[in-house]
Amino acid sequence: MINIRPVSDLKNNIKQYSAIINYIEHKLDEADEVAENSDVRYSASKVFGKVRSRINARKKE
């Protein structure tokens, strides 16, 4: 059976998606600006290791 949802649900989902994407784009722009103004560089393993540890810490909560 096909579940047909109201158009308002679709509009709400698009608004939520846009809000998330806009937030992420803003944060990426901030990171680019910081990188341009700094000589500090991190290796991929250090960055992704820190990300993994934060994700794993949240899973334990």
Task: Encode 14-30 in three state secondary structure.
Answer: HHHHHHHHHHHHHHHHH
- 5 pLDDT above the threshold of 80: no
Average pLDDT (8-19) is 87
Token code pair at residue 13: 């989902």
Structural domain spans, the chain: 7-36
Q: What share of the chain is helix, strand, coil (3-state, %, to 5)?
A: 75, 0, 25
pLDDT at 23: 96
Residue type at position 29: D
pLDDT at 19: 93
pLDDT at 18: 94
Token code pair at residue 20: 């998330």
pLDDT at 1: 67
C-alpha 8/C-alpha 5 separation (Å) is 8
- 50 pLDDT above the threshold of 80: yes
C-alpha 21/C-alpha 27 separation (Å) is 10
